[in-house]
């Protein structure tokens, strides 16, 4: 199993807004496990946690993103402008043993 953390360091005052936007926009995304905000450590972080069977499934999710379904297009439309809410980000990919 593969766990992916997509980490966004938000502009001050935007972490909860971005988390809410992700939660509303990602309804029905079968890979999405959780959306989290920080309670300790670096401030203003939103982490999207996704789960995949293996790296091939993760790669296939990117291929699907490049050929979006109508549902995916609707989610993308809801996300318009989200890049204005964060400063930087990172992705961490973990193998679960």
CB atoms < 10 A from the CB of 52, how many? 17
pLDDT for the residue 75: 83
Please state, in angstroms and rounded to a whole number, the distance separating the CA atoms of residues 34 and 72. Answer: 18
Q: Would the pTM count as exceeding 0.75?
A: yes
Distance, CA of 42 to CA of 86 (rounded, Å): 14
Q: Identify the pLDDT of residue 42.
A: 85
Average pLDDT, the chain: 92
Architecture field, domain 2-95: 2-Layer Sandwich (3.30)
3-state class (DSSP) for residue 48: strand
- What are the residue ranges spanned by the domains of the chain? 2-95
Say if residue 95's pLDDT is above 90. yes
Cβ(5)–Cβ(49) below 8 Å: yes
């Amino acid at each position: 199993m593969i766990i992916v953390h997509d980490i966004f360091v938000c502009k001050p005052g935007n972490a909860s807004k971005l988390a809410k936007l992700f939660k509303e926009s990602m309804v029905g995304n079968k890979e999405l496990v959780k959306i989290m905000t920080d309670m300790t450590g670096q401030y203003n972080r939103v982490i999207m946690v996704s789960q995949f069977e293996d790296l091939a499934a993760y790669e296939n999710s990117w291929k699907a993103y490049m050929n979006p379904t109508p549902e995916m297009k609707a989610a993308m439309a809801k996300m318009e402008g989200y890049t204005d809410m964060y400063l930087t980000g990172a992705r961490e990919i973990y193998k679960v043993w």
